[in-house]
Structures are given as C-alpha cells and as structure tokens.
Amino acid sequence: MFVDKVKVYIKAGDGGNGMVAFRREKFVPEGGPAGGDGGKGADIILEVDEGLRTLMDFRYQKHFKAKAGENGRPKNQHGKNAEDLVIKVPPGTTITDDDTKEVIADLTEHGERSIVAKGGRGGRGNTRFATPANPAPELSEKGEPAEERYINLELKVLADVGLVGFPSVGKSTLLSVVSAAKPKIADYHFTTLNPNLGVVAVDDGRSFVLADLPGLIEGAHEGVGLGHQFLRHIERTKVIIHVIDMSGLEGRDPLEDFEKINDELKQYNLRLLERPQIIMANKMDMPDAEDNFEQFKEKVPDNYKVFPVSALTKKGLKEMIREVADLVDNTSEFPLYDEEENKERVVYRFEKKEDPFSISRDVDGAFVLSGPEIERAFKMTDMTRDESIRRFSRKMRHMGIDEALRKKGAQHGDTIRLLDFEFEFIE
C-alpha cells in the first residue's frame, strides 16, 4: 500500500532529575554537597533513508516517545544523556506542525536530518546551589519537560518529470514503454491509484525520473476524485508532460481537456504553471486523431510545444523524450516554500516577548496561573522539599506574580491554582 500523508504524535525525552546528596567519607568532616546533575533527554530526529518509498511504517506506529535522561547520582556523578531517537523517512518528506501549520523541514537528500522535538535538559544537583551563605543546600531541580506535539508528514515524490492528464489518456502506457516500470494498465478510469516512478534512458546517454500520477478530473483542487492526493506529487517536478487523448473516443474535446487540467493546476498552486510544459498528443494511431490534432494545434497557444505521439506504437516518442531531457537539464528546481529562497539571509526584528504568566478566575473563584515559563518552573521544582518550595516562591515573587494577584483582587487565604497544584495566597 502506498501511504503519502500521516499525522503522528512525538514526545522527546524529559531531562533527568538532579540529586540531593552529601559527601560521607572517613576522615573528611563536613564534606559538603555531592549531588550530580541529571542527564539530557533524547531528541527526536527525522532522517532521510533513500531505501524508503512510502510512509507505510507510520500507518502502524503513530506515537513516538524518546527516553528520558538518567537521574543524577551521588559523588557529583552526572546522569547519562539519553540516546537520540532517529526515525527514518523517505526522500521528499515535508514535516509541518499540526497546530501552527508551520513547515518544520523539507527533507529530500539521503542522510539529511531534522530535529523535530528537543529533549529537556537535566535538572541541577544540590552541588550547583551551594553558596557561602548556604554551603549545604537540600535543594535540587527536576529535569526539564521535553517538547511534545503532533506533526504531519507529507510525501511528495521526487521526480524530474510528471505526467498530467485526464484518466485513461495513456499516461501509464507511456511510462511502461519508455522505462522498465510496470504500472497497472486497463481500459477503465483511475487504473492508477498511486504514483509510479520510472527511470527513462535517453538514446544519447542521459536519463531522468518520470512520474506517472493518478488522473485528474475537474474539481481536483477542491479534493474531487483523487484531488490533493495527486496534486501534491506534481509540486517537485521540473517539467510537466501534458498527455491528451486525440482520438476523442470518450466524447471529450482535446482543447477543453487541456484548458481544464491547466485550470486545476492553477487553482491548486499558481506556481505550477511556471514549469515548462510539453503537450503529448497521444493515441495518434486511432481514427479521427489526425483531424482532431490539426484543430487542436490551431487553437493551442504558440508557446506550447506539441508532439504527435502514439505510446502504443512508439511513433514520435524519441523526439519528445529528447526535448524533455533538454528541458530537465536547463530547468532549475522550483522551491516549494518561499522561505527557501531566502534561507541564507538572517533578518533581525523586534518581537514582543511572550508574557511569562497569565492569571484568570475559575468558576469556583480560585485564581488560575498559567503560562509556559511559570509552568516550566513548577514542573522543575521538587515539591517534596521545603527548600525547593521556598525557592519557587521567591521565583514567583521575582516574576511579579504576587503583585499581579493583588491587582486582580486576591486576598489572604484565597486559593491559587497552577496545573494540578493548589496553594493559598498569604500576605
């Protein structure tokens, strides 16, 4: 089965917890703190493997959780860092964040990597908190929570040339004739349900990759028929071969077919029309094909090259394949995303810092604290130790939370809620 789009959940490894420990050696009085730091959690990395051709593996496993870092040890021993989780994907995979729709990476070359979720750093042991005023702190940090999110993996096949056209115009037949590929061929619509790739060898020693893609119908840009399942795969091609049935056996007009397909490409992505397009007037061995071809040539715009071809008898194929190879050699790749054009340029701009916390009221009257910075600090605090709780209280005061609660009307004894933890506001 060919799978070209999946949604998966990923969670990197949390950092290991720091440790509270003290040196206890014979003849070493007041040895001091000796708690080690926790290890770093594992990152989740996507890596291109050119041996893969589909996202089939993700159909059966859609949740990936990396290992957490090891906790700190006594004698100032650092916890072991977790080994990164590397997930293999086929070339041509685009990764986007499911919530923001932001493109995280576009992986095309073998061995290319992208970190899609970063592991948390390890918490600090009590050795890190020793000061002249407090030389033996009973205080440590928990490991930093790791990134977790849903991502979309979308495969867009890597081919130099793509075949477009209505169903049953001869695209699969052409691929089978000019390459060693064995696509399914039959006399009914939508025989091709998945992209088929073949390497075309030109008689002068050159070669290029040709993609036979599922047939288009009117309304494909809105998802009609195979819709987007087809159109996403044409985005990476350099050259488009527009296959048109000149026999007219199905009662369609060749010029209307040509205009409808180009309109679908335009509606889906205007930049698809920037690609060089060759018109293959197919099935010229059929009756009435010559008359239809002459009428078509008179009406089609002059900037399109039209090749009368019979994929069945191979007549006219050599000339067209040579022209396609020339276009592939002389056409640069089209960037999928605008930012790729300017990825070498760094732009510095002022961005307002996100508020470290926000305060709201719950239905029971409790004040609810939320925000990435305060929640992260809370998760890294060991609430089983009084000294850690006092440090967290000082941090909230320095962040301005006490003053903000007073402005919101908080009074002595009111309930403050942070995630699943509740405490009282004390003046």
Tell me: is residue 213 an annotated ligand-binding position: yes
108 is in an annotated binding site: no
Distance between CA atoms of residues 403 and 406, nearest Å: 5
**Is 100 among the annotated ligand-binding positions?**
no
342 is in an annotated binding site: no
CA atoms of 91 and 153, how far apart (whole Å): 12
117 three-state secondary structure: strand
Residue 239 marked as a ligand binder: no
101 is in an annotated binding site: no
To the question of whether residue 276 is assigned a binding role by annotation, the answer is: no
Residue 86 CA to residue 342 CA, distance in Å, equals: 28
Residue 212 is assigned to a ligand binding site: yes
According to the annotation, is 169 in a ligand binding site? yes
Please list the alpha-helical segments (H only) found in 281-418: 289-299, 317-330, 338-341, 372-379, 386-399, 401-407
Closest CA to 134 of 20, 27, 37, 39: 20
Residue 285 is labelled as binding a ligand: yes
Name residue 380's amino acid. M
Q: Is 407 annotated as a binding residue?
A: no
313 marked among binding-site residues: no
| 196 annotated ligand binder | no
Give burial (CB, 10 Å; 0-12/13-18/19+) of 76: middle
Which residue, among 118, 92, 104, has the nearest Cα to 4 in the 3D structure?
92
Q: Structure tokens of 330?
A: 């002389």
Handedness of CA 271, 273, 276, 280 (dihedral sign): positive
Tell me if 311 is assigned to a ligand binding site: yes
Is 282 marked as a binding-site residue? Answer: yes
Q: Is 194 annotated as a binding residue?
A: yes
Contact 340, 106 (CB under 8 A): yes
Q: Is residue 168 a known part of a binding site?
A: yes
Residue 371 counted as an annotated binding residue: no
Residue with tokens 């239905």: 363
Q: Does 165 count as an annotated binding residue?
A: yes
Contact call for residues 178 and 76 (beta carbons, < 8 A)? no
Cα distance between residue 399 and residue 373, in whole Å: 10
Q: Is 332 annotated as a binding residue?
A: no
Q: How far apart are CA 333 and CA 275, in angstroms?
A: 9
Is 190 annotated as a binding-site member? yes
Count CB neighbours of 180 within 10 A: 10
Task: Please check if 114 is assigned to a binding site.
Answer: no
Question: Residues comprising the binding site?
Answer: 165-172, 190-194, 212-215, 282-285, 310-312
Mark the binding-site residues for GTP, compressed into ranges.
165-172, 190-194, 212-215, 282-285, 310-312
Residues of each annotated binding site for Mg(2+): 172, 192
